[in-house]
Each structure stands twice: as C-alpha cells, then as structure tokens.
Structure 1
C-alpha cells in the first residue's frame, strides 16, 4: 500500500510532464487546463483499462481471458444433455468407464505399520513423523476414492441404492470434475478430474520413493498433503540439533545455481525443495534475480531452493522482495490456501525494482 501511495501522493505528480503509466496514456494535465480540456482528456481514455494501469504485465490479459473461457465452457458442459455422449455411449456407460479407469490408476492405501517401523519417532529426525503423517492423510483420501468408486459401480448395476451423494459424484465424473466428497478429504486443488487423478498418482509416487529409498535429497514441496508440517519439521530438526527454542528460528532462502541432478547430498541444515512456480515474473538465471515475464509465458519454474533455518534472523531492510506462497492458483485469504511462510529474494539492492515487484504483487506457489 505504501508503494502505491508513493506513486500518487507527492510533489512529482503536480508536474505537467508527470505520467502515471509507462505508455504515457495516463498523465498529468497542465495547470492552465480548463474544464473542456479535462473533459476531452477523459473521453480520450481507453474504454477497457490496460493492464499497465494496475501495474500488471500484459500476460494478465491472457490469464483473464482464459479464466473467462473456462467459466463459459464449464457452464456449457453442465448444460449438456445427460442421456447420451458424443461417443455414442450412454451416460451410465461413460460414468462406469470413468470410474473403472480411475480405479485402475489410483494405487491402494499404503500399509502404515511397515512405514512406522522403518521411520520410527525420533527426537533428532522429525522427517520420520512427517512421512508417517503424510501416509495417513493420503490413505484417508485413497480409501475414500476407492470406496466411493466401488459403491458407484454397484449402484450403476442396481446392486445398491443410488444415494444423493453417489448421484452427485456420478455427475462430477461425467463432466470431469472432482467429486465434492473427494475434495473434502483432499488437499487444495483447482485441477479438473483427469489432471487431478494424474497428480494424485504422481504424489503417491513421491511418497513411495521416500518410503523405499529414504529421506529425499530434494523435497518436492508440491507433493505434500500438508506442507506446513514439513516446514515445521525442518525447523524442529534444526532447533533440536542446536538445542535452542524453535520460536527463535525462521527461514532464510537461497536460490541454488546447481540443477536437481547436481545436488547429490542433503544440506547440513535445512532442506532443498523443488516444485515452486512463479506467476507474473520469472527467475533470471544469468542475473540471478527476479525479471519480467516473457510474453505469453504465464508460469515459470523456480530453481531448487535451499530453506535454511536461522536463529534470531533479522530480515534485510532493503534489496529484497517478500513473496507470498500459495498452494493453488487461487488467491484467497482462506488460511488453507496460503502457506504461512514468505519467500524472500535478494534483488541486488535494487530498492526501486523491489518496490515495482511489490506494486505488481507477484506471487509464487507450489504447483498449480
């Protein structure tokens, strides 16, 4: 807010040569301008406000158009006749094929007992507790998915009563939406059903890789059901190793120059993570700082990042950008949508550039 106010409150805005946007369309008028001049200027302004007036990149128009298109298409799909499909199959046949296809892809729940034996509760290693908790959370979701799919298949055959919940689930499968009863047991996601299933399978592969081969060198933060527990566990490990209070520890962040394949060992303290994406900006690997997005490039991968626990850390007062991290593309004040950590990037002491990023309100998020 302070950065925005600095753009519009100050002696500089009184100059007749002052402009409020890079293109110069929005500018100050001469002090001698009369009422007619003001009216003519107002009428000359664009009917549709360009993105620059809001401090946004031109790519924001693409995102807006995509969201509008998806909304319209979603409404059209929901209005389609429910008696038959374009493939010639009946609605029930389509739902049955979809249910069976998901059952074939989704893995069974992970036996918790062997995981707890291999990764027992240890004071010096909180990641053992994290992986067990992740297994329990994913198992709850997998059980719900598999049980409801089997119930739906029975209902379609007339073996059990088609309840209201099963009917709602069937409608969701038909229009490629995640059923409400699944979403209530799952992690935040905006993906359509097909992509959601693929993502769930990929997440379980990450968990199985951890279970089978030990604690990862680089953690895929997008694969966590509850990433806050992972971040807290990282701080706990450091606090216990240094015998200090966890309340005095916060994260410092370092973007790594090494690629995923080049990082072979875990850091002495903290963790390496991957899976963050930038929206509205990109990471310049040459200048090693934030840079403007390339045209038509809406999302860009962040390199591996090192989350370093630091005791009594004093946040830099200049040359950095504080970037919020979201779980999905949807900005929301809901506490379940935002990870309660903020990534900071040093931007070569360019305070003016940092102010620009604050005005544009860039954000990062793990996955999308």
Structure 2
C-alpha cells in the first residue's frame, strides 16, 4: 500500500511491478518460507498475479475467475462473499484432477485413522484372534522369504563379473546387495521375535507391538520402512522385496542383464551415475 501511495504522489502511470512482486513474494510472505521449492512456487504465483495485466479490465486469473471492475468497497466485498468456499485447483495452475488426488488422500487418511482406533483384541466369536492372524501372516512371509546373500560366495561371484569388482556397475550391484541384506535380515529378526512374543516366549517390546499392529492392518512395520521403500500394503511390499532379490540374483549369477528394473534399486540415481562413469571410461 505504501508503494502504491508513493507511485500516486510521483504521478507515475503504474506501480513498479518488480517491486510489488518482491515485497509480497520475498518479504511479506517469503520471509516465512524456509523450503527452496516453496519459495520458487511463491515467486511463480506472484509473477503471475502482479504484472501490467492486473489492471486491465476483464482480467481473469483463470477461466471463470474474473477480477471485478467495481470501484466501490461494498461491491468488492459482495463479490468476495459470492466466491466458492473451496478453491478450484485451476486457481493455482493445477489440473482439475489434482482435486481428485487430494480428496483421495484425505479419504485414505480418514480410513487409516478409523482403522487405527479399532480395538486389536479378539471379539466374542469363534474366529481367530488378532495375534493368531498376525502369527499366520508372519509364518507365511518367513516361508517365502529369500535368504541373504552370503558374503564369501557373493564376493567370488562379483570378481567373475566383466571388469572385476572395481567396475562402477559392479560396485553399484554390491551396494544394492548389501542394502537388501540389511532389510532381509531385519525382516527375519522381526518376524521370528514376533512369533516368539505371540507364543509367550519373549516380551512384546515397542518395535514388536508396532509390527503386530501394522501386520494386522496389512501395513508395513515402521522400522522396515526406515530401511526400505514405500508401499500401500504388506503384500505389495513383500512382492517388491522378492522382485528385487530376483533381479540382483540373476545379475550376480548370469552377468549383466539386457534390461534393468530401475525403480527396483535402492539408489537408482547411483545406477545411472555408474553407467555414465563406465561410458566415459
């Protein structure tokens, strides 16, 4: 407002829009923004709104959102009160499907919250208790769980790959095997201890309680997620583990494949970097 008043006093035709943009984007609101991408987004929105076109008659921020040509405050207030309670994604330069995605995530959060509040104790019927259900899930996963890559055999196979163990792609393979071994061993340990706890052999600790609740809800235990990848359910997550193990096993045993499952790596960027290094060499 001070800038606009100064422009009037100097009898200038229009505001200095870069100044207005900077004041709003970088100071008024930007001073409270800490994320670099949020700053970029704020600058983009400010540049779209604060420009010469803002004073044009019939200016529309997006189709259907027209800036009124009134000069009376009451008319502006009346126009504002008539705006919809929910903003359309188009106002922010997004596709209308963004609203669908947003509401889908809201529903998922709501359902997960409701499920988390449901009692985990068994009812009065004759069906299996939650502990029995989790015990069956744990037993099924343990039966299908692939073994870890043994250190010495893996080391010998890596030496036999083209170029030896120092080749960038071979180094990447070894790193992927190491990380998969970590999550595989963690799964073995958690599931075995969980079955022992359900049987009453060991105490049900904090991590085991989380694992029991997660598996009962078909989710991934929190401790596993810190070492692995995101997935919607424990079934899809475990299927991903099997596919990752299969890809690395075939690579280790049969040499480099003709194609790679890029998203099946813990570090896909590292794979691309290793490939660039080999090409450059």
Whether contact under 8 Å (1:83, 1:90) holds in the other structure is yes
Distance 1:7 1:166 in 2: 52
Matched, 1:95 2:134: yes
Matched positions, count: 236
Normalised TM-score (structure 2): 0.76
Whether contact under 8 Å (1:173, 1:193) holds in the other structure is yes
Q: Secondary structure at the match of 1:38?
A: helix
Q: Secondary structure at the match of 1:144?
A: helix
Q: 1:133 aligns to what?
A: 175
- List per-residue Cα deviations over 1:314-337 (Å, max 9, x = no partner): xxxxxxxxxxxxxxxxxxxxxxxx
Q: Which runs of 5+ in 2 are unaligned?
A: 1-39
Matched, 1:216 2:257: yes
Q: 1:114 aligns to what?
A: 153
Q: Secondary structure at the match of 1:119?
A: helix
Q: 2:214 aligns to what?
A: 172
Q: 1:323 aligns to what?
A: none
Q: Secondary structure at the match of 1:62?
A: helix
Q: 2:10 aligns to what?
A: none
Distance 1:156 1:104 in 2: 18
Distance 1:69 1:13 in 2: 38
Whether contact under 8 Å (1:84, 1:91) holds in the other structure is yes
- List per-residue Cα deviations over 1:223-258 (Å, max 9, x = no partner): 11122322331232234x1xxxxxxxxxxxxxxxxx
Whether contact under 8 Å (1:18, 1:28) holds in the other structure is yes
Structure with a larger share of its residues in helix? 2
- List per-residue Cα deviations over 1:242-300 (Å, max 9, x = no partner): xxxxxxxxxxxxxxxxxxxxxxxxxxxxxxxxxxxxxxxxxxxxxxxxxxxxxxxxxxx
Q: 2:90 aligns to what?
A: 52
Whether contact under 8 Å (1:84, 1:90) holds in the other structure is yes
- How far apart are 1:190 and its partner, in Å? 4.4
Q: 1:123 to 1:103 in 2, by over 3 A?
A: closer
Matched, 1:156 2:195: no
Q: Secondary structure at the match of 1:20?
A: strand
Query: Which structure exhibits the higher relative contact order, with contacts defined as CA atoms closer than 8 Å and separated by 6 or more residues?
Result: 1
Distance 1:117 1:76 in 2: 51
Distance 1:89 1:44 in 2: 56
Larger Rg: 2
Q: 1:6 aligns to what?
A: 47
Query: 4+ residue runs of structure 1 moved beyond 4 angstroms?
Result: none
- How far apart are 1:144 and its partner, in Å? 1.0
Normalised TM-score (structure 1): 0.59
Q: 1:115 to 1:87 in 2, by over 3 A?
A: farther
Q: 1:187 to 1:87 in 2, by over 3 A?
A: farther
- List per-residue Cα deviations over 1:13-52 (Å, max 9, x = no partner): 211122101x22x22222x532232122212211110110
- How far apart are 1:129 and its partner, in Å? 1.1
Distance 1:74 1:87 in 2: 26
Q: How large is the RMSD of aligned CA atoms in angstroms?
A: 2.3
Distance 2:233 2:157 in 1: 35
Distance 2:130 2:109 in 1: 23
Whether contact under 8 Å (1:95, 1:173) holds in the other structure is yes
- How far apart are 1:67 and its partner, in Å? 0.9
Distance 1:87 1:108 in 2: 36
Q: Secondary structure at the match of 2:260?
A: strand
Whether contact under 8 Å (1:127, 1:215) holds in the other structure is no
Structure with a larger share of its residues in strand? 1
Q: 2:276 aligns to what?
A: 235
Whether contact under 8 Å (1:125, 1:237) holds in the other structure is yes
Matched, 1:82 2:120: yes
Whether contact under 8 Å (1:187, 1:226) holds in the other structure is no
Whether contact under 8 Å (1:109, 1:143) holds in the other structure is yes
- How far apart are 1:125 and its partner, in Å? 2.6
Distance 1:173 1:93 in 2: 11
Distance 1:177 1:123 in 2: 38
